[in-house]
Structure 1
């Protein structure tokens, strides 16, 4: 049978069309299989992280949401039920002159601890970095207060600050200077609290800085020495910039620690005299557990939350511009 050119072309077209249908169907089956597998992987992923999401949502996010709602209510925890009052709790706080003083106390306390921790911690770390005899024992002794409870440290400083028989009197008497009434005088109470708090955390900050110092590359110092750079220039141009990640860590931990300070305030000053050493965290405790005013306590806690949120944002900007990771 004779096959014309048109017939051969028709058969070729049919073969090419039929041959192309098989890969297309196979590709669709492969794609469906791929998406089924991806859905199974997503389902497994969600199943694996759901316990963590549940825990984080329950213990992190839900308390914040509940506290935000509680700050809009008036509720005596000993009796009655929460009553919605809107922003009245916040208005009462900002219209209170004593609360303005509490905010100032919080900022003063936090700034003094943060600045003091950085300066004194770095100075002690530089001293510890020297090749001195018995430096291991000295480092251990300096770090020890950090692992002691805040209540115990505050009790120790109560004895040190005692104007009748404390260590401060023993030190000041030979100079004819009377020991101040540290924790009972509004002019000295905050200073006493700052001294005790700095002493407790100084060893930890010094050890952190010491770890940073001992990991700095020696070749940079050798190059600076060959270039004729002095001690201060080397410290300012090499040591400080390379220690910026450590400084940032110290800033973050110090700020968080000061805003959470409670135990040493409770034992050393009790927030007094008057409100001289009352910080936001101590005020939240007073309103919530002593005055049983849950609404005011929640509003103060939300203000503390927003302050920390702003500080965190500023710290993030600081990291982007000033912190140099090597």
Structure 2
């Protein structure tokens, strides 16, 4: 045996074993459970075929969960990227005040979601919250941020955007600082306006950063759990229930492991399809330096 050829595979073997044990095996076992009916207690797992998928896809509550997930993901990612890009364009300059603002807006990113959720629960309290107190100063009546189905999902989106803006802004600033300065000098010599410079130079050169942030933002938003669990519990009237919280409820509260695994398989397919489509449709528009 030629050990020179085998040695590289032996060196990566521990990583492959860990990857298979903690990634491939759970996915395979989840797919296996999605075809069974199991209550998490009984040793028997009854094979039901695709019945779990039929029941889930015909369930009006699960359809609402999917809509909530899509609305939450699209609005969270689009708002966070838009606001962060504007902040990055403003903060991409030298000065003590700009460094201070960068640190201030980044600080929510390093705070745990549990602490942030508790803070925003107080801020959004209908009767004693600081947000409604501030709105009352302008004659606006109290808004039931977390207790009304019309505003509860939007409230969670506000929390997610507030937490994510700092991280996205710093990534955008890094992307802006990596753009060669001579490109802007050439544009200035051609007397190119600021708006045209942004859309024809800055935005295309930032496309790798936009591509990266959109991908991680979509995947992260599909997996939202902590804020929902602490702030709303999926309510009111299922208005803030998303697919990961739905999996948790069915698996660890109602002990419907088959339904929870089926929802997990659907989440896996959704994330995979979104990622593949995004790469296929937009990867060609990414301009690397």
Same fold (TM > 0.5): yes
Q: Distance in 2 between matches of 1:270 and 1:286?
A: 10
Task: Indicate the residue corresponding to 2:136 in structure 1.
Answer: 173
Segments of structure 2 that go 5 or more residues without pairing to the other structure are none
Q: Distance in 2 between matches of 1:120 and 1:132?
A: 21
Task: Indicate the residue corresponding to 2:79 in structure 1.
Answer: 116
Q: How does 1:66-77 map to 2 (within 5 A)?
A: 66-77=29-40
Q: CA deviation at 1:131?
A: 4.3
Q: How does 1:229-244 map to 2 (within 5 A)?
A: 229-244=192-207
Deviations 1:202-237 (A, max 9, x none): 100001101111121111111111111111000000
Question: 1:290 is matched with which residue: 237, 253, 258?
Answer: 253
Higher relative contact order (CA 8 A, sep 6+): 2
Question: 1:102 is matched with which residue: 56, 60, 65?
Answer: 65
State the 4+ residue runs in structure 1 displaced beyond 6 angstroms: none
Q: CA deviation at 1:132?
A: 4.9
Q: How does 1:116-265 map to 2 (within 5 A)?
A: 116-265=79-228
Q: Distance in 1 between matches of 2:20 and 2:215?
A: 24
Q: CA deviation at 1:317?
A: 1.4
What TM-score do the two structures reach when normalised by structure 1? 0.86
Alignment size in residue pairs: 289
For the residue of structure 2 that corresponds to 1:187, the secondary structure is coil
Q: CA deviation at 1:43?
A: 2.7
Moved more, 56-65 or 77-86: 77-86
Segments of structure 1 that go 5 or more residues without pairing to the other structure are 1-35
Q: CA deviation at 1:158?
A: 0.8
What TM-score do the two structures reach when normalised by structure 2? 0.96
Query: Over aligned residues, Cα RMSD in angstroms?
Result: 1.3
Task: Indicate the residue corresponding to 1:63 in structure 2.
Answer: 26
- Whether 1:323 aligns to 2:286 is yes
Q: Distance in 1 between matches of 2:78 and 2:222?
A: 15
Q: CA deviation at 1:99?
A: 0.8
Q: Distance in 2 between matches of 1:197 and 1:44?
A: 46
Larger radius of gyration: 1
Q: CA deviation at 1:296?
A: 0.3
